[in-house]
Amino acid sequence: MQRIGLGHDTHRLEPGDGLWLGGLHLPHDRRAVGHSDADVLLHAITDALLGAAGLGDIGELFPNTDPANRGRASAEMLAIALDHVRAAGWQLGNLDCVIFAQRPKILPHRSAIRKRIAKLLGTDESRVWLKAKTGEGVGPIGTEQAIAAECVVLLQQD
């Protein structure tokens, strides 16, 4: 059996000292605003995994009303969600992700982000793909008011 999950996340940007993306802290003059470390890519992956397995979403598992989630590392949330997915009998087939950001440019960081995500998921880097799109100077992405990510995941069960 196979299932497909879709994850999406968006965070506001404000002046800052870098942003978390794919489990890495990238140098940047802005930061993402959120209850946790605001890693939009790991949040989208977490939602995709949970959705494909029929286990809810990131907001249910880690509500922003719970003080324990304040400043929480998204990598930790992904690990917990992955444990739930595996306990339900699912294994990762592959995932395909898109980051929507005017800046920073993702291509120079793509390999490192793919490696980090593969490590977090306990899988081969060949099962993780990442693309990036700018906002072409239009809307909240293009004017650097926001950053977003989407991810599609394929889960397999014996």
Task: Taking residues 37-56, report their average pLDDT.
Answer: 97
Q: What is the band of 47 on the pLDDT scale with cuts at 50, 70, 90?
A: very high
pLDDT greater than 90 at residue 158: no
Please check whether residue 157 is in contact with residue 111, taking contact to mean a CB–CB distance below 8 angstroms.
Answer: no
- Provide the number of structural domains found in the chain: 1
pLDDT greater than 90 at residue 71: no
In a 3-state reduction of DSSP, which class is residue 65? coil
pLDDT greater than 90 at residue 69: no
Domain that holds residue 73: 2-156
Q: What is the band of 2 on the pLDDT scale with cuts at 50, 70, 90?
A: very high
Q: Tell me if the bond preceding 15 is cis, omega within 30° of 0.
A: no
Please check whether residue 141 is in contact with residue 12, taking contact to mean a CB–CB distance below 8 angstroms.
Answer: no
Q: How far apart are CA 120 and CA 108, in angstroms?
A: 20
Q: How far is CA 78 from CA 29, 96, 114, 138, 143, in A?
A: 26, 16, 15, 31, 29
The CATH number covering residue 27 comes to: 3.30.1330.50
Q: What element of type H or E holds 30?
A: strand 30-32
Task: Taking residues 27-35, report their average pLDDT.
Answer: 95
